[in-house]
């Protein structure tokens, strides 16, 4: 298989992925924004999320900024900003900010040092907790703790989960496909030898 074909194939095999914009800034105030599909929930007490960052390409500015400042933001891509978000993957020069280039607006909240995306409805301020290069293929594991979490008013289910469909969050498959996930069903906590119970 040719290399690009193989990459598109492998990227589609894990299933649907979250669409997040990672906002960072370097020590000279230059901002950066990058779309990533590798955010994974790692724990809830405290809220920890892992991010896998590739060593080359556009991602390297994001990684360098996270290590330099110890902070970053995670912003959900919603249906209104798909094209802007995708465009952040273009190879801009280090002195150019993807914010200025893509129409996504920098938002600075409180005294947090990294920029949020104004158009995002769900966003988190992240403090770097651990960074490690994985020897197996030189990708980088970045673990952060959410220290500020912003979700739309009234968007939480009774159990605490955010209704991310209502917030317009999208999913990605492969490298280029954006999806609008309709709710099929919600199921109660599974119990042995009892049939699955639907939630309203």
Of residues 39-58, which lie at the interface with a second copy (CB under 8 A)? 39-45, 47-50, 52
| Residue 21 DSSP code | E
Cβ–Cβ under 8 Å, residues 93 and 28: no
Residue of 91, 111, 154, 200 that binds a second copy (CB under 8 A) = 91
Closest approach of a second copy to the CB of residue 165, in Å: 7
Spatial separation of the C-alpha atoms in residues 89 and 55, rounded to whole Å: 14
- CA triple 41-109-161, angle to 5 deg: 35
**Sheet with 123-133: strands ordered across:** 31-36, 20-25, 71-76, 123-133, 140-150, 47-53, 39-44
9 binds a second copy (CB under 8 A): yes
60 binds a second copy (CB under 8 A): no
The nearer residue to a second copy, 14 or 109, going by C-beta atoms, is 14
Spatial separation of the C-alpha atoms in residues 162 and 154, rounded to whole Å: 9
Residue of 17, 62, 97, 121 that binds a second copy (CB under 8 A) = 17
200 binds a second copy (CB under 8 A): no
> How many residues interact with a second copy (rule CB under 8 A)?
96
Residue of 33, 81, 124, 125 that binds a second copy (CB under 8 A) = 124
99 binds a second copy (CB under 8 A): no
Token pair listed for 162: 């955010």
The nearer residue to a second copy, 105 or 143, going by C-beta atoms, is 143
181 binds a second copy (CB under 8 A): yes
175 binds a second copy (CB under 8 A): yes
170 binds a second copy (CB under 8 A): yes
Q: Of all helices (H) and strands (E), which one includes residue 100?
A: helix 98-102
């Amino acid at each position: 298989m040719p290399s690009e074909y193989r990459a598109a194939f492998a990227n589609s095999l894990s299933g649907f992925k979250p669409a997040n914009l990672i906002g960072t800034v370097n020590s000279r105030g230059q901002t950066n924004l990058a779309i990533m599909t590798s955010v994974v929930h790692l724990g809830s007490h405290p809220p920890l999320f892992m991010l896998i960052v590739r060593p080359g390409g556009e991602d390297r500015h994001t990684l360098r900024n996270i290590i330099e400042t110890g902070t970053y933001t995670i912003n959900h891509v919603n249906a209104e900003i798909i094209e802007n978000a995708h465009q952040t993957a273009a190879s801009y020069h280090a002195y150019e900010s993807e914010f200025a280039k893509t129409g996504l607006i920098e938002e600075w909240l409180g005294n947090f040092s990294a920029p949020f995306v104004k158009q995002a409805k769900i966003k988190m301020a992240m403090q770097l907790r651990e960074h490690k290069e994985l020897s197996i293929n030189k990708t980088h594991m970045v673990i952060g703790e959410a220290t500020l979490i912003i979700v739309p008013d009234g968007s939480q289910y009774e159990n605490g989960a955010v209704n991310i469909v209502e917030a317009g969050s999208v999913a990605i498959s492969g490298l280029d496909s954006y999806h609008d996930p309709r709710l099929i069903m919600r199921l109660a906590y599974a119990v042995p030898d009892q049939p699955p119970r639907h939630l309203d």
